[in-house]
Amino acid sequence: MSTQLATMSAADLALADFEDPVDEIATQFELDFDPLEVVDILTVTSFPETTALPIASPKKAMNRKEELASLRKLTQYLEAQLGTLESNRAAFAAREVSTGEWEKTATDAWQTREAAERDNKRLKRAVEEQLAMIEAMDTMLRKRPRVENMAESLCADVTRLGDDDTRGRAMDRILEAHLSSLNHVFVRAKLIDTPSSEIKSAKILHLPLHDSLAVDVVRCWHLPYSFDVVAAAAWRAWTHQADDNTPQSKIVECLADLDTRYIRVPLNDTAKCPKATRIFTQSLFRRKYEATRVVILGRGILDDARHPAPGHVADALTWITVERVTETSCVYKCCGRRFAPTARHGRMRTVDEMVVGLGLTTAAADRDELTGMLGDILVHAYCDIGHRIEHDMHTLLHARPPTAAQSG
């Protein structure tokens, strides 16, 4: 271990010990019965902020002076961590020469225990956040207003792809329209001006038109890497490149454009219940390069004449930017919205339908019960955005930061 530490650069050591925001940032859960009014806020139990930077209110607009102050704090924090690591490296090197095999074994055991404690802390945080989200959803279900005669309400924005030569142009139109809403979404999420602190929040939305629920996840994550490196890791994580054509992800259609991917991802695990109706998101992702940032867009496709999903389809909207701060730092911003599965004509399944149980007719008088309730689907969606994506990005960045060329 000491030999490994001795061969690592000072920058690598600092980055390797950089605190993972997934471990330090408590997610805020909000309830929203109306898009213009937040009626309640539930916050996860906070952990002691021994190493995390102070968290400011996201409502406060950050001016240039605050941004510079935040960068100075981050620099001081990293310098302190670097000094600690340099001392540790020297101590390890001294032990390599002067101590026996038993102390090396003890050191390895201590490091293994530290890694296990970090994993346990991440797992504890994930469980607490899921419990908080379930509590928020329970409050939403108890307080939500009743909506009558909405069973045949149609979704005003059903994304469809035909089975003809216009598919490519249709994909471009869908993604361009999605890009045009980026600024509006970031304004509402209070991300248009980069906050000085980390933000991680989830909002449970009531959709009166469909008498259904959705979940919004907002993230602001400051990282000590160049923006192109983080963007490459984000692209790989969001488009499931490590899971191509596995049970975790399937390429729906191979496209010539390396910056556009069309994938299908399951939302429920049918291995535990083989008769359960399957639920998927079927999404187009596109990456767009700009001078000081990379934009990643994800748009759910609800109706595809050429590649129909083998089960229910749930809509999914994703907006991501990775913006340059300095040569070696950037900020990752994300807004993701996930919905209940859809029925005919893009109508979302209602809360009552999901609670009673859905079915998908596979043959005459043969119905498979849908075991994944609405709460399960939305909790899965939150865990995917709030934990799985960030864990994959963190793993990629710490292992070997990919370049933009490697991410195609």
pLDDT in tens, 316-372: 999 999 999 999 999 999 999 998 888 766 677 777 666 554 443 333 333 344 444
pLDDT at residue 359, rounded to an integer? 41
DSSP label of 275? T
Return the percentage of the chain with pLDDT > 70, whole number.
Answer: 55
Q: Which of 223-227, 229-233, 379-383 has the lowest mean pLDDT?
A: 379-383
Judged against a pLDDT cut of 80, whether residue 302 lies above it is answered with yes
Question: Could you tell me the CA-to-CA distances from 44 to 25, 93, 117, 131, 191 in Å, in that order?
Answer: 10, 41, 20, 9, 21
pLDDT in tens, 240-258: 988 887 878 889 998 889 9
pLDDT of residue 367: 39
Q: What is the pLDDT of residue 336?
A: 94
In this predicted structure, what is the pLDDT of residue 279?
84
pLDDT at 196: 81
DSSP lists the bridge partners of residue 314 as: 341
Residue among 329, 303, 56, 293 nearest 162 (CA): 303
Task: Produce one character per residue of 101-130: b if its CB has 16 or more CB atoms within 10 Å, e if not.
Answer: eeeeeebeeeeeeeeeeeeeebeebbeebb
| pLDDT value for 20 | 43
Specify whether the CB–CB gap between 371 and 355 falls below 8 A.
Answer: no
pLDDT of residue 88: 66
- What is the distance between the alpha carbons of residues 229 and 294, in angstroms, rounded to a whole number? 10
Q: What are phi and psi of 280, to 5 degrees?
A: -135, 160
Please list, in sequence order, all residues whose beta carbon lies within 8 angstroms of the beta carbon of residue 369, skipping any fewer than 6 positions away.
275, 276, 277, 357, 358, 359
- Extract the runs of DSSP E, i.e. beta strands, from 244-278: 250-253, 260-266
Question: Quick one: tokens of 385?
Answer: 């955005």
Residues 379, 210 contacting (CB under 8 angstroms): no
User: Quick one: average pLDDT of 279-285?
Assistant: 92
CATH superfamily of domain region 160-398? START domain (3.30.530.20)
Give the global pTM. Answer: 0.65
* Choice between 197 and 99, residue whose per-residue pLDDT is larger: 197
User: Residue 173: what pLDDT?
Assistant: 94
Residue 29 burial (C-beta neighbours within 10 Å; 0-12, 13-18, 19+) = buried
Q: What mean pLDDT is reported for the chain?
A: 71
pLDDT, average across residues 299-308: 91
375: left (phi over 0), alpha (psi -120 to 50) or beta: alpha
Residue 186 pLDDT > 70: yes
